[in-house]
Amino acid sequence: MLRRYRGGQRAPKGSYWNPYTGQFLELDTEAILPDGKGAYFQVSLPVLLLLGPILGALFLLFVPLAVPLVVGAWAVQRLRSAFSGQAPAPEARPPRPARVH
């Protein structure tokens, strides 16, 4: 069973995982957990050993899917602006050379 603790809360000795930040923390004695985003879950060694390969496999599956989706969304946005007749955003235009009189 996973016990949940918030940052700044006193927690007993053990291993803790913050799924929001991905941080693993090992407490040798009772201590106060660091403040931050998300909650900490006290996990036992068997759960920790199962969780590592599962998270690694999810990462390996996510990256090849995420990169083409992000690049595709960017390309669609650029193509839409190119064919809509709108000028690109001002920061995307190259600067004009100064005129010398």
Query: What is the span of the domain harbouring residue 58?
Result: 3-83
CB 16 within 8 A of CB 34: no
Whether 42 is covered by a domain: the verdict is yes
Closest CA to 50 of 15, 11, 10, 89: 15
* pLDDT of 11: 92
Closest CA to 58 of 25, 22, 17: 22
Whether 89 is covered by a domain: the verdict is no
Whether 41 is covered by a domain: the verdict is yes
Asked if residue 92 has pLDDT above 60, the reply is: no
Domain count for the chain, please give it: 1
Whether 19 is covered by a domain: the verdict is yes
Whether 45 is covered by a domain: the verdict is yes
Whether 63 is covered by a domain: the verdict is yes
Asked if residue 2 has pLDDT above 80, the reply is: no
Whether 40 is covered by a domain: the verdict is yes
Q: List pLDDT tens digits, range 32-75.
A: 988 878 899 998 888 878 888 998 898 898 888 888 998 998 99
* pLDDT of 8: 87
Whether 99 is covered by a domain: the verdict is no
Q: Binning pLDDT at 50, 70 and 90, where does residue 13 land?
A: very high
Average pLDDT on 16-24 reads 87
Output the pTM of the full model. 0.53
Average pLDDT on 5-24 reads 89
